[in-house]
Amino acid sequence: MITGSVQPMPRGHRFTYSRWDGTQVGFDIDAESIFSEITDDLLYHGDLNAALRRLMQQGFKDRDGKQLQGLRDVLERLRRRRRDELEKHDLGGVYDEIAGELRDVVDAERRELDRQLDEARASGDERRTETAQASTGERHLRLDMMPNDLAGMMKELESYDFQSAEAQEKFQELVERLREQLMQRYVDQMSGAVGSMTPEDMQRMKDMMAELNHMLDQRANGEEPDFAGFMDRYGDFFPENPQTLDELLEVMARRMAAAQAMLNSMTPAQREQLRQLSEQLLEDMDLRWQVDQLGSHLQSMFPQMGWDRRYDFSGADPLDMAEATDLMERLGDMDQLENLLRGATNPGALAEVDVERARQLIGDDAAESLDRLARVARELEEAGLVEHKEGRYELTPRGIRRIGQNALSDLYRKLQRGRPGDHRLDRTGAGHERAYETKPYEFGDPFSLSIEKTVRNALTRSGTGTPVHLAPEDFEIERTEQQTRTATVLMLDLSLSMPMRDNFLPAKKMAMALHSLITSQFPRDHFSIVGFSSVARLLKPEDLPEVSWDYVYGTNMQHGFMLSRQILGRQSGTKQIIMVTDGEPTAHFEPGASEPYFEYPPVQATVDATLREVNRCTRDGIRINTFVLDATSYLRQFIDTLTKLNGGRAFFTTNDSLGDYVLHDFVEHRRTSRSAGPR
C-alpha cells in the first residue's frame, strides 16, 4: 500500500509518497464500498434498514479484501466461549477445596496427637502414657464425630483445642480466607474495594451501604439525593469512578446479579452450605441486612440484569469462591453482550458495545469486527448517503444518486468496451452546445461570434496596430452541435410474477441505472417511471430505491400506457415508452369503472383494451420499445401485435442481459434521434 501527503504549492499540489510500513492509518472501510455492498439488497427488498441489518448479520469484506465477521459469526464465537467455560469448570469445587483443606487440618492434628502419644510411650512413664492415651483417644473420637457439612465442621473446629500449632495455623488461615471470600460475595460485588479490612474499614463500609440505601429511598420519594457528597465521602470504594448515581447502581446491579447467578447455579445442598458458612463466619447481621436491602432495591430497578439466570457446569476444574465470582461476572457480561447483539436493529446500536470488554470475552478479531460494524452507519452518515430520522435510517438525495451510479457502473462493466460510446456526431447545426470549432460567417448563420478568431483574422488581413478595423470577411462564428430532446417513460412491471421468476432485481437495477444515465449525461431529457401491476402509478425517482413489488394479481398494461401517454403529452421532442415485463396483459379498466377487471388467462377484452391504448400512443407519436422476460408463446404473439401497431421494437431477453439491452438501446435511440434532428 502507498500512502501520500499533500503540500500546497504556488501552482497546484505536490504529492510525496512513501512505502507502507504499518504505522500509517489504513483505509480499511469507506462509505462507498459499504454502500456498494448493500445496493442489490436495498433494491430487491426496498428497505434500507433491513439491508443494513443483513449486512450486520453477514459481515462484508473491506477494501483490502479482509472479511469482517458478521453478528452471526460473533454470536457463534460467544456461544462457543461460554460453552467452553461451562464444560471446563466445576462450581462444586468451591466446597471440595474447603473440605479438602479442612481434612488437611484434621490430618495435621491427628499426626500431632499420634506424635504426642508416641513421645509419651517412649518416655517410659506409664502414668504419662495413660494420660496421653486417654487424651488423644478423646480427641480422635471428637474428630471422628465431626459433622459432615462444612458449616458444622467449621463450628466444631472453632471450639476445638488444637494440639498441633501447624493445624491451628492452617485452620485460622482458612477461616480468614473464607471470611474474606464470603465478605467479597457480599461487598466486593458492589464496591470492588474489599482487600484486607480493619474493623474501622468495616464500619465505614456499613455506613456507605446505609447511606446508599437512604439515597435510593430518597429517590423513590421524589427527592434528589446528594450523589456528589456521597462520592466525596466514599468514592474510594468505587474504582470505576461512576459519574452519576445511575452509573453506580448499574455497576453494582451487574455484580450482584452475577453473585445471584452463582447461587442459582448451585445445587440446593451447595446453597445451604453457603448459607450456613455465611452465618457461621459472618456474624455481622447489620452488614447482611444492608446488602440484602440494596439487592432488593437493585432487582426492582434493573430487572433486565438476569437475576434468575443459572448455568449448568459440567467440567472438572474446581473454582474457589473468588474465581467463581469472577467467572459469574464474565458469564453475565457474555449474556449481556449476546442480548445486545441480538437486539441490534442497525449498526448504530453497536456503538453501545464495550469493545475492550468484548475483546476480553471473544478475542481481538471478533471485537474489531464489532467496532468496525458500529462505524458503518456513521461512515454512511458522514458521507451524506443516509440520515437518521425518528429511529430509522433514510436515504439522502446523494444516496439515491449513488445507488443509481452503482447500478449503472455494474451494467457498464458488463457491456463490451466501446458499445455505448460518447455519442459525438459529425453533423453540425444550430443548437445550444458549443462544439469548440469555428467557421466563416455565412448569411443565415446564427451570429455566435468567435471574438478571438475574428480579431485574429482582422490582424492577419490588415496588420498589427490599433485601432483594429473589422470587415465582414473577418467574422468567424462558433459551430454548435445539433441538439434534440428525448422524453422517456419507463414502464416497470411490479406484478408478483417478477420476483417469483427472479426478474425484479435486474429490472429495478436497470431502472436506477437508466435514471442515473439520463440525469448525468442527458440532463435536458425528461424521464419518468410508471410502475404497473393491477393498476399503474407514477413513481418518483427518489422513491425508486425503496419500491417493492405489489402483492396483487394482474398486469394492467392498458393503465400503464394511458398514464405514460398523459405524461408524455406534456413533453416535447422525441417521445418513447420503454416497457419491461414478464407477463401478458391480464387486467384493464372498463369505461367508467373505478376498479380494474382481472382475468387469467387473459381474455380478449383485456387484450383489445390494451391495444386500443397502444394505438392512441402511436397516433401521438410515441414509440413503444418492449423488453420481454421469460416470454411464453402467447406473450410473444401479443408483443408482435403491439410492435406492428406501434412501429417500435421488441427485445426478448433474460434477466442477466436486460440492463445491457435497455442501456444500449436507449443510447442508440438517442444517437439516431440526434442524427435525424429534432422533430
Q: Is the pLDDT of residue 657 over 50?
A: yes
In this structure, the answer to whether residues 116 and 236 fall within a common structural domain is yes
Question: Could you tell me what percent of the chain has a pLDDT over 90?
Answer: 11
**Higher pLDDT residue, 671 or 622?**
622
| Closest listed residue to residue 589, CA positions, set 552, 554, 555, 558 | 558
Question: Per the structure block, which three cell numbers stand in for 546?
Answer: 425503496
Domain end point (choices 262, 291, 310): 310
pLDDT at 567 over 90: yes
Average pLDDT, integer, range 587-611: 92
> Is 345 inside any structural domain?
no
pLDDT at 90: 77
CA dihedral 669, 672, 676, 679 (to 10 degrees): 0
Provide the residue type at 131 as one letter.
Answer: T
What's the Cα-to-Cα distance from 341 to each of 65, 86, 206, 363, 669, rounded to whole Å? 25, 21, 38, 16, 52
Taking the C-alpha atoms of residue 70 and residue 59, their distance in angstroms, rounded to an integer, is 4
In a domain, 321, yes or no: no
∠ CA 547-549-554, rounded to 5°: 135
Query: Quick one: pLDDT at residue 471?
Result: 85
Instruction: Specify if 319 maps to a domain.
Output: no
Question: Can you give the pLDDT at residue 7?
Answer: 39
Helix (H, G, I), strand (E, B) or coil at 2: strand
Give pLDDT, residue 184: 57
Residue 547 sits in the same domain as residue 633 = yes
**Is residue 329 in some structural domain?**
no
Q: Is residue 411 part of a domain?
A: no
Q: How many domains does the chain have?
A: 4
- Domain end among 466, 481, 496: 481
Same domain, 473 and 609: no
Question: What confidence tier does 148 reach under pLDDT thresholds 50, 70, 90?
Answer: confident
Segments of 574-616 assigned E as strands: 574-581, 587-588, 597-598
Q: Do 43 and 188 belong to one domain?
A: no
* Domain boundary residue, one of 437, 460, 481: 481
> Which residue's entry shows cell 430487491?
44
- Same-domain status, 470 and 494: no
576 φ/ψ angles, rounded to the nearest 5 degrees: -150, 155
What's the first-to-final CA gap in the chain, in angstroms?
A: 55
Residues 153 and 256 in one domain: yes
What confidence tier does 608 reach under pLDDT thresholds 50, 70, 90? very high
Residue 29 placed within a domain: yes
Q: What pLDDT is stored for residue 126 in this prediction?
A: 85
Range among 129-133, 475-479, 671-675 with highest mean pLDDT value: 129-133
pLDDT at 102 over 80: yes
Amino acid at 68: L
Is residue 369 over pLDDT 80? yes
> Strands, DSSP E only, in 506-571?
526-532, 536-539
Closest by Cα among 449, 184, 454, 443 to 328: 184
What is the average per-residue pLDDT within 588-601?
91
- Same domain flag for 656 and 583: yes
Q: At which residue does the C-alpha cell 474510594 appear?
A: 236
The band of 257, judged by pLDDT with boundaries at 50, 70 and 90, is: confident
Contact indicator for 77, 362 with CB cutoff of 8 Å: yes
Q: Is a pLDDT exceeding 50 seen at residue 179?
A: yes
Identify which of 288, 220, 291 has the alpha carbon closest to the alpha carbon of residue 252.
291
Average pLDDT value for residue range 407-432: 46
Check whether 557 has a pLDDT greater than 90.
yes
pLDDT (tens digit, 9 = 90+) per residue, 72-96?
A: 888 889 889 888 888 888 776 666 6
pLDDT of residue 194: 42
- Tell whether 187 and 41 lie within a shared domain: no
Top-confidence residue, 676 or 241: 241
Q: Cis before residue 472, ω within 30 degrees of 0?
A: no
pLDDT over 60 (residue 549):
yes
Together in a domain, 200 and 227? yes
Residue 490 and residue 477 share a domain? no
Confidence at residue 638, expressed as pLDDT on a 0 to 100 scale: 92
- In the predicted structure, residue 454 carries a pLDDT above the cut 80: yes
Same domain, 460 and 504: no
Domain, as residue range, for 435:
428-481
- Separation of alpha carbons 492 and 395, rounded Å: 22
Cell of 175: 477461616
Report whether 384 contacts 399 (CB < 8 A): yes
Task: Name the packing angle between helices 71-88 and 48-58 (round to 10°).
Answer: 40
Q: Does 213 share its domain with 277?
A: yes
- Average pLDDT of the chain is 77
pLDDT at 613 over 90: yes
Average pLDDT on 342-351 reads 79
DSSP code, position 9: -
Q: Is residue 421 part of a domain?
A: no
pLDDT at 581 over 70: yes
Tell whether the model's pLDDT for residue 568 goes beyond 80.
yes
pLDDT of residue 561: 96
Residue 400 lies in a domain: no
Higher model confidence: residue 43 or residue 416? 43
Q: Is 650 in contact with 639 (CB distance < 8 Å)?
A: yes
pLDDT at 443: 64
pLDDT exceeds 70 at position 191: no
For residues 10 and 139, the model is more confident at 139
Residue 537: predicted pLDDT: 94
* Reported confidence tier of residue 655, pLDDT bands at 50, 70, 90: low
Contacts of residue 197, Cβ cutoff 8 Å, sequence gap at least 6? 183, 205
CATH code of the domain containing 537: 3.40.50.410
